[in-house]
Amino acid sequence: MNARAGMMTEECANVPTENHAVEDHVLQALHQLLDSPVFIKAPRMCQLLSFLVGMKLSGKESEITEYAIGMAVFRRDGRVYDTILDPVVRVQIGRLRERLAAYYALPDAPPGVRVAIPLGSYVPTISQTGAVPPRLQRRQLELAPLRNLTGEQYSNSFVSGVDEELGSRLFHAMGTLIQLRDPEPPLAPAPGYADTRAAHRLEGSIRVEKNHVRASMRLLDTGAGNVLWLSQFDCRGELGMHLQEELAGAICDKLQRYLANH
């Protein structure tokens, strides 16, 4: 048994015996996940996922809190640990969502079990449909530059950082399906010419008011010109890298879930 498998087994040791058949199936799938190229070189991500799934399978969902994760996984000092001041759990959960989405987008991802961390929650969901997990559609996506609606110089660098972080996360999740990035929507092809535009275009804008940031994102069908998906994201905190990562992670996660199911 390798280190990741052993870690998962240790986290899940207290699973009720009457559920062993189902839980063994889940553990086998999780062992495969931890040994995949997406996770094998990320031991902290493996530990985080093992802790969350172990608590879930042991019936301890109510004990999965940001504070508990910070203490158990990231070894924070309980005498000084403040989840408001220390965003490590929020940031790493966002990265875990990104890795899970990337794993299930792999062509050889095994069917049957799918683990997800819903937005706004730290409690994992585990589905066992027996079907092949939905994949991201194999259609190219063009990412347009984010627009800064605040109109103030101090927010330009923050918006640029979110733009770069979002592009990086989408590229790691979708690879060459991502196209970067024309400032204006491309023109429709003239009659008789092939349509070389990406099938989808992601556009967005950001407003910054003190420590409150709101991003408005929409996904367009470039052929028909229809809006396929529209969502807003709100984050609060000091303008900096951790807030850029949190915002980009939330956008990437929700967009991938839409694409995986449509």
Q: Where along the chain do the CATH 3.40.50.10070 domains lie? A: 141-260
Question: Is pLDDT at 202 greater than 60 in this prediction?
Answer: yes
Question: Is pLDDT at 67 greater than 50 in this prediction?
Answer: yes
Question: Is pLDDT at 18 greater than 50 in this prediction?
Answer: no
Q: 35-46: per-residue pLDDT in tens?
A: 888 998 999 999
Question: Is pLDDT at 8 greater than 90 in this prediction?
Answer: no
3-class DSSP state of 211: coil
Which contacts of 70-74 are long-range, i.e. CB under 8 A and separated by 24 or more positions? 73/44, 73/47, 73/48
Which of 212, 243, 257, 251 minimizes the C-alpha distance to 90?
243
Which residue, chain included where needed, has tokens 């010109």?
225
Q: Residue 101 class from Cβ within 10 Å (0-12 exposed, 13-18 middle, 19+ buried)?
A: buried
Q: Mean pLDDT, the chain, as a whole number?
A: 79
Question: Is pLDDT at 219 greater than 70 in this prediction?
Answer: yes
Give the pLDDT confidence score for residue 204 in this predicted structure.
94
Question: Is pLDDT at 180 greater than 90 in this prediction?
Answer: no
Give the pLDDT confidence score for residue 66 in this predicted structure.
95
Mark 109-130 as b/e (b = at least 16 C-beta within 10 Å). bbeebbbbbeeeebebebeeee
Give the pLDDT confidence score for residue 191 in this predicted structure.
47
Question: Is pLDDT at 107 greater than 80 in this prediction?
Answer: no
Rounded-to-10 torsion of CA 170, 176, 178, 184: 150
Which residue, chain included where needed, has tokens 């009720």?
16
Give the pLDDT confidence score for residue 52 in this predicted structure.
94
The topology (CATH level 3) of 141-260 is Rossmann fold (3.40.50)
Band (239; pLDDT cuts 50, 70, 90): confident
Contact 142, 201 (CB under 8 A): yes
Give the pLDDT confidence score for residue 238 in this predicted structure.
85
Rounded CA-CA distance 29/251 in Å is 27
Give the pLDDT confidence score for residue 75 in this predicted structure.
94
Identify the bridge partners of residue 236 per DSSP, sorted by sequence position.
Answer: 212
